[in-house]
Structure 1
Amino acid sequence: MTQGLTDGGFGIYIHWPFCAAKCPYCDFNSHVRHQHVDQVRFAAAFERELSYFADLTGGKTVHSIFLGGGTPSLMDPATVERVLKAISDRWTVDSNVEISLEANPSSVEADRFKGYRAAGVNRVSLGVQSLKDQDLRLLGRLHDAATAHSAIETARATFPRLSFDLIYARPDQTPDAWADELSEALSLAADHLSLYQLTIEEGTPFFALHKQGKLRTPDPEMGAELFELTQEITTQAGLPAYEVSNHARPGAECRHNLVYWRYGDYVGAGPGAHGRLGVGANRLATSTERHPETWLENVESRGHGLIENSGLNEEEQGDEFLLMGLRLTEGIDLNRYESYAHRSVDPRRLKALLEHGMVEELGDNRIRATREGFFVLDAVVADLAA
């Protein structure tokens, strides 16, 4: 996990905004369309927007490509192939590039997966979320546990690398039940698992239910116990955490997400995508129009769907670097922080955090958050950035 430690690398994120159904916990930019989506037209728009970003970032080598959403496995393989060709036509692509695609088990077909593999996808991330039928229904998923098992088998047979997601700290979930489910997941996993605690996001159906007292989630103490149990079980199984919610066998970390957490550069193309780009002496924050059809029209009329393309000041860059990097077990290089923020962290505040066991030193001017620090990471970042 050493590549990119000094500069973070360069990745490209493609956002496919369409889903077959909207999950009640989801606050991502995803949209259900009951009419036909003109994929040829959207593919052409991706090509145009990628051309715009290529003009901004010429000369960079692409280390990772991630097709997220939404549900990218609703894309035709021909659409994926066209988007990937657009990238390779506009940038130098590393020979060892990681190309990930998110898929929902309910949208998996063996022939479709073979088409993605032929197009160049070499890693798939399955949104399994639970291996229990009752909880899958609660989470609004369109698949059952048997479908999830089948999708995992199909993905393992098709792609060199596989990850899948689970959500825990679900209503009424006990540590014993989660331990059993996580053990089952580890028996199915290849080399990577993403394990997220259920969060109640404002604006979602779950938020309204939670506010009305109709959806109860584990209290913070139980959440902490489930988190500790997760770390213990995955470490014993050889998939330790390399980030707060992500676990992998050594060498199988998601390279694209490492670009984010190591504060590398990345293009964000498609409706509602975000990016961070080093252009000359500036670091730009970009975001695009969220509504798919409006984004499409904007790209067709002006070559991109940007609604934000602004420079980040030194304080903002330093804060972002801390917030992203301290999620990683490898920690951060304080010299890099100084290069962004143009100042060093307050030694008194750092000393206090060390004494309270919130961070620890790794040598070579590197620090990382401890397990206790992960629980209050926003506060740790605020202290270091003050």
Structure 2
Amino acid sequence: MTPSDDPGFAIYLHWPFCAAKCPYCDFNSHVRHHGVDQPRFVEAFQREIAYFAEQTQGRTVRSIFLGGGTPSLMDPQTVEALLGEVARHWSIEPGAEISMEANPSSVEAERFRGYRAAGVNRVSLGVQALNDTDLRMLGRLHDTRTALDAIETARATFPRLSFDLIYARPDQTPDAWSKELSRAIDLAADHLSLYQLTIEQGTPFYMLHKAGKLVVPDSDAAADLYEVTQTVCDAAGMPAYEISNHAVPGAECQHNKVYWRYGEYLGIGPGAHGRMMLADGRHATEIERHPESWLAQVEAKGHGLREDTLLTAEEQGDEYLIMGLRLVEGIDIPRYEQMSGRSLDSERVSALIEHGMVEMAGNSRVRATRDGFYVLDAVVADLAS
């Protein structure tokens, strides 16, 4: 069986609340200093879950991901109620991956035990840096000691642990990043998500960068840091399986692989996106972003759908290229051609191979090379044109 034969069915539940908004973040996250009416939101999630379950009967869930925002601000009984509602409507694969994002500043051992009892078996910690100076610069609420304690607590509670780091930070050198990354690997994580700092429009960092008050490494320096990332992780037995994600073989994030293999996934909760197959084809869904607006809409009509678009064959093919070429395993050419209704241009593929940007993997798969990952957007655009 090739990797794309059964890309899977997954469920993403978006908890949109954070204790504070990080200055680099453009995700759909909101601060509510007066607190959140969790029982009311639980009821709304349950209604939206039931709405999507009606349309996707007979599926078997491969993974569930509680993302945000900061899901670790939820009470354990809230998590239990959401996971219980999913289990009430769908079959769940034995050993299914059930992940939850957490910030180190919101980690409490008792709450973690509650999440584990509710069924969570994998936690992803937003560590972001392992020095206090950069944590303050990134606007994080935790310090290094808090992060290390959270990692220890998570390791003792859950079968699987991942954590995130951000690199290409202001003034970061390859040597400093190499040492920090080696320290992260020594913390016994079997999965690391390593993201280059990007300046997103509409964020405080964007305004600072525009004003010249925040200087990040240029493209050449960022490429050097990316190369350090690959070298250190490869040497430690945690190779990249996706452009920003590294794992010990067998510890890859199954939920995200459903996305990248262009499987079927439901996005439930404020601002969530989904892709689901119905009788008339593949639908792209988007949920109302604002939490209280979403709440009112779900209470009024059972769902918070803002957009539900039937994708064309060409759009599906383009999305498969965008997602699948992020993976080291690449894409399945016959699947692409069946999905999109067109063939990859053999001359373009040959030219990209000649320039070292892609390579064949067996007779029916094409994947980006390491050099190709540096300019992946251009590679995808070339293949899709």
TM-score normalised over the length of structure 1: 0.99
CA–CA distance in structure 2, aligned partners of residues 224 and 211 of structure 1: 22
- Secondary structure of 1:167 counterpart: strand
The unaligned stretches of length 5 or more in structure 2 are none
* Percent of paired sites with the same residue: 69
CA–CA distance in structure 1, aligned partners of residues 185 and 255 of structure 2: 22
Pairwise CA distance, 1:385 = 1.1
Q: Judge which range, 368-377 or 264-273, deviates more.
A: 368-377
Partner of 1:367: 366
Pairwise CA distance, 1:378 = 1.2
Given the alignment of the two structures, is residue 65 of structure 1 paired with residue 79 of structure 2, yes or no?
no
Partner of 1:38: 37
CA–CA distance in structure 2, aligned partners of residues 178 and 355 of structure 1: 32
Partner of 2:294: 295
Paired residue total: 385
- Asked if structure 2 preserves the Cα contact closer than 8 Å seen for 1:128 and 1:148, the reply is yes
Query: Which stretches of structure 1, 4 residues or longer, exceed 2 Å deviation after superposition?
Result: 2-5
- Asked if structure 1 preserves the Cα contact closer than 8 Å seen for 2:163 and 2:189, the reply is no
Partner of 2:351: 352
Partner of 1:94: 93
CA–CA distance in structure 1, aligned partners of residues 159 and 2 of structure 2: 20
- Asked if structure 1 preserves the Cα contact closer than 8 Å seen for 2:361 and 2:367, the reply is yes
User: What pairs up with 1:316-331 in 2 under 5 angstroms?
Assistant: 316-331=315-330
Pairwise CA distance, 1:73 = 0.1
Given the alignment of the two structures, is residue 153 of structure 1 paired with residue 152 of structure 2, yes or no?
yes
Partner of 1:230: 229
Pairwise CA distance, 1:376 = 1.2
Partner of 2:241: 242
CA deviations on 1:221-252 (whole Å, 9 max, x unpaired) are 11001001100000110110000000000000
Given the alignment of the two structures, is residue 163 of structure 1 paired with residue 162 of structure 2, yes or no?
yes
Pairwise CA distance, 1:4 = 5.4
Q: Judge which range, 331-340 or 108-117, deviates more.
A: 331-340
CA–CA distance in structure 1, aligned partners of residues 107 and 242 of structure 2: 28
In structure 1, what residue type is equivalent to 2:255? H
Pairwise CA distance, 1:190 = 2.2
CA–CA distance in structure 2, aligned partners of residues 295 and 189 of structure 1: 39
Partner of 2:335: 336
In structure 2, what residue type is equivalent to 1:163? S
- Asked if structure 2 preserves the Cα contact closer than 8 Å seen for 1:108 and 1:151, the reply is yes
CA deviations on 1:234-281 (whole Å, 9 max, x unpaired) are 011011000000000000000000000000000000000000001124
Pairwise CA distance, 1:3 = 8.0
- Asked if structure 2 preserves the Cα contact closer than 8 Å seen for 1:267 and 1:274, the reply is yes
Given the alignment of the two structures, is residue 77 of structure 1 paired with residue 76 of structure 2, yes or no?
yes
CA–CA distance in structure 2, aligned partners of residues 23 and 217 of structure 1: 17
In structure 2, what residue type is equivalent to 1:266? Y
Partner of 2:108: 109
Partner of 1:213: 212
- Secondary structure of 2:265 counterpart: strand
Partner of 1:12: 11
- Secondary structure of 1:214 counterpart: coil
In structure 2, what residue type is equivalent to 1:10? F
- Asked if structure 2 preserves the Cα contact closer than 8 Å seen for 1:14 and 1:273, the reply is yes
CA–CA distance in structure 2, aligned partners of residues 345 and 229 of structure 1: 33
Pairwise CA distance, 1:375 = 1.4
CA deviations on 1:187-232 (whole Å, 9 max, x unpaired) are 0132100000100000000000000100000011110010011000
- Asked if structure 2 preserves the Cα contact closer than 8 Å seen for 1:14 and 1:68, the reply is yes
Describe the shift of the 1:363–1:136 C-alpha distance in structure 2 as closer, same or farther (beyond 3 A).
Answer: same
- Asked if structure 2 preserves the Cα contact closer than 8 Å seen for 1:164 and 1:189, the reply is no
CA deviations on 1:291-342 (whole Å, 9 max, x unpaired) are 0000001001000000011100011000000000000001110011011101
- Secondary structure of 2:237 counterpart: coil
In structure 2, what residue type is equivalent to 1:295? W
Partner of 1:124: 123
- Secondary structure of 1:164 counterpart: strand
CA deviations on 1:16-43 (whole Å, 9 max, x unpaired) are 0000000000000000001121100101
Pairwise CA distance, 1:383 = 1.1
Partner of 1:376: 375
Describe the shift of the 1:149–1:50 C-alpha distance in structure 2 as closer, same or farther (beyond 3 A).
Answer: same
Pairwise CA distance, 1:364 = 2.7
CA deviations on 1:33-57 (whole Å, 9 max, x unpaired) are 0112110010111100001110111
- Secondary structure of 1:121 counterpart: coil
Partner of 1:385: 384
- Asked if structure 2 preserves the Cα contact closer than 8 Å seen for 1:268 and 1:274, the reply is yes
Pairwise CA distance, 1:11 = 0.2
Q: Judge which range, 309-318 or 370-379, deviates more.
A: 370-379
- Asked if structure 2 preserves the Cα contact closer than 8 Å seen for 1:62 and 1:91, the reply is yes
